[in-house]
Structure 1
């Protein structure tokens, strides 16, 4: 088994080993993974955080040893808390990183990947936040453009949004909406929900295709065109711009 870590800002995770293939997710700086298969220019990987699989360009990550992989796995997770910031190498070159980037072995504003030392002077997330913090963190991404497979403030999809918000608060969600819907406790009615619970929505075939975070007073924040706030009722999401329902409610889940 081989292992790797993302040493660039944001790299695409694709469904097939081709630059023109669909992007299904992204890796942010500092995310580590197992390498399942290697081809000439591509590697199929399994992300350590959520076990999501896809293909990445071999030029866009750094190989690490099994020992280092396991050491990262056993160490505490520390994430960058600035919407956009940078890490500086010892040669004074720097790399921009988005919020939610991992900072391996972070201590006293220093982190290290293999033999490369970096300095990061921004704010960090280093502990679990309360459920009351979920909406506050969700607001960070407000008006972020929708991007299929995206996980950053420059472009994000519906499940990438919910996953990143929960991750910044110290909790693990799976990557896709249909996967996230398998987690947590089912709630029977919107009235039972609390801010921070997740609402899932399905298509005409009954497949869950959308997720959002419930807010107070029957509002929901979700990624649809952009990260936006709309109304939610027993039928689904009521778009405040079009004055029409845009998504059909399937289930509400309490994760924490």
Structure 2
């Protein structure tokens, strides 16, 4: 077993080599590599224990991150100057090692990132729903975990991990592991989670949900009562759990 990290902005975590995407990993995510086979590596993700296969050229020896990206997304520039050429883009939650700070930018191996878009690695946020709100308008992507595309469980996990709260990657595991189950009819409050078979949504408050869903194909607000009726009418069943963190 070898300690490594992800060195591409977003990497698909596959069920099998060159198979379907189950989840995604972000730049700087730590992994344990168990084996390599024809350019593919079987890994386990540090952040949630998710296992699968990634391309081996997306991995490099692990180095300690000093900062993480707290803007929805950011650019790495050639120089500490917003008018210089941008080299790549990173999503919220990516981790980087800083070599210096100058002119309001942190210097990383990718280039210079606006310091206002990052926090030190040991800093956590406090409101997972506010984190999820940063992703409004992000396109829906099955198995997605980044600002460039994510699904319902990815949106929940992004909010939880940013606040230092452990969270599985799949909605079924989230329903099993997160929070305390509430009895039917309990009034929902901000930060609760509603689950359906194969789906999860944040309760934003005032009878409003915030969720990534394939009906709207993005992260959006939706009235809670309307969403419950819509999901039932489209054949995906009733709410299976109401959980409070």
TM-score bucket (shorter structure): 0.7 to 0.9
CA RMSD of aligned residues (A): 2.9
TM normalised by structure 2 equals 0.81
Go from structure 1 to structure 2 and tell me whether the alpha carbon gap of 1:244 and 1:59 turns closer, same or farther (over 3 Å shift). Answer: closer
Structure 1 residue 245 displacement after superposition: 8.0
Q: Does 1:214 align with 2:191?
A: no
Q: Do the aligned residues in 1 keep the contact of 2:153 with 2:170 (CA within 8 Å)?
A: yes
| Structure 2 Cα separation of the partners of residues 6 and 87 of structure 1 | 16
What displacement does 1:200 show? 1.0
How many residue pairs get aligned? The number is 230
Three-state SS of the structure 2 residue aligned to 1:195 is coil
1:50–1:174: 8 Å Cα contact kept in structure 2? yes
Query: Cα gap change, 1:107/1:213 in structure 2, threshold over 3 Å: closer, same or farther?
Result: farther
Alignment of 1:1-256 (within 5 A): 1-18=1-18, 21-64=19-62, 68=63, 72=64, 78-88=67-77, 94-104=87-97, 108=101, 110=106, 116=109, 118-121=111-114, 122-126=116-120, 127-130=123-126, 133-181=127-175, 182-189=177-184, 191-202=186-197, 209-225=198-214, 226-233=218-225, 237-239=228-230, 248-255=238-245
1:6 and 1:201 mapped to 2: Cα distance? 32
Call closer, same or farther: CA 1:89–1:174 in 2, change over 3 Å: farther
Structure 2 residue runs without a partner (length 5+): 80-84
Contact kept in structure 2, 1:184 and 1:253, CA below 8 Å: yes
Q: Is the 8 A contact 1:33 1:46 kept in 2?
A: yes
Question: Once the two structures are superposed, what CA deviation does each residue of 1:54-104 show, in whole Å capped at 9, x if it has no partner?
Answer: 10001122133xxx5xxx4xx77x4212222123578x8833211221124
Q: Partners of 1:2 and 1:93 in 2: how far apart? A: 32
**Alpha-carbon spacing, 1:230–1:57, altered in 2? closer, same or farther (3 Å):** same
Aligned equivalents of 1:247, 1:128: Cα separation in 2: 36
